Structure 1
Amino acid sequence: METIARFEVPEQAHLFRGWLGSRDIAATVLDEHVVQLFWHYSQAIGGVRVVVADEDAERAKTEFEAYRETLRRKPEEIPQAKVWPIVLVASLVFGFPLILFGRRPGR
């Protein structure tokens, strides 16, 4: 087993393990429970480790660089949908009859 990456918190390690799993590389997270119980020992023990089998080590190192590059990229901007005209028309079409013929008090 070879250590591919070290992280400060288990959540980051599990995200990277999921990244490797999606690329058919089996990985294991080690020392996560020690860091969760004794967070102040995280730096002393080297953080939370992600390890893979020796035969997958080179591919996993390449994927780690791709993972880090993906995290550095800025998020893509999602264009806003312009649905307000549809909502306005639907509100008028369905809401106006309810205002005119709605339930009257006392009936």
Structure 2
Amino acid sequence: MSKFVVVSKYSFPLDANIAKASLESEGIPAHIADEHTVNMQWLYSNAIGGVRLFVPEEFETEAKAILDMNFSEDVNLAFKEKPEQCAQCSSGNVINYTKGKKPAFLLFILLGFPLFFYKHGKKCMDCGWFKET
């Protein structure tokens, strides 16, 4: 029978479950301790040492290496949006813009009720092109 060792401690059970799933996806058996205690009384988390993640002793080094990996840059690259380009000048300096907001505000101040004739869209800051969305 293999001896289990703590490879990591977490304040929240969700974080421990994510780490456990990462280890199990690599074929490393993992178990979580004190998950339900912290779920029931989260103020006890620090007092009992947090939610502990256990693995068999022979997988300790490999498990710690997997848990130390940082995939933040991969996630950012996967969800990075391409900058929108202007249809007229091909500039990348396109922003979200509300056309007619200032006149609508002035009419609201002068007349006392809103006349909403403004348009939401994208505007090129280089050539002034506007596209309604």
TM-score bracket for this pair, using the shorter chain length: 0.5 to 0.7
Partner residue of 2:46? 43
Partner residue of 2:62? 59
From 4, 7, 32, the equivalent of 1:4 is: 7
Partner residue of 2:37? 34
The two structures have a TM-score, normalised by structure 1, of: 0.66
Residue type at the aligned position of 1:6: K
- List gaps (5 residues or longer) in structure 2: 84-133
Q: Distance in 1 between matches of 2:29 and 2:44?
A: 27
Partner residue of 2:71? 70
1:24 aligns with 2:27: yes
Identity of aligned residues (%): 30
C-alpha distance after superposition, 1:41-66 (max 9, x if no partner):
00111110110000111110111111
Residue type at the aligned position of 1:70: F
Q: Distance in 1 between matches of 2:54 and 2:82?
A: 39
The structure with the greater share of residues assigned to strand is 2
Q: Distance in 1 between matches of 2:82 and 2:17?
A: 31
The two structures have a TM-score, normalised by structure 2, of: 0.54
Equivalenced residues, count: 78
SS of 2:32 mapped into structure 1: strand
Q: Where does structure 1 differ by over 2 angstroms across 4 or more consecutive aligned residues?
A: none
SS of 1:45 mapped into structure 2: coil
Residue type at the aligned position of 2:44: Y
Of structures 1 and 2, the one scoring higher in RCO (CA 8 A, sep 6+) is 1
Query: By how many angstroms is 1:23 displaced?
Result: 0.4
Q: CA RMSD in A?
A: 1.9
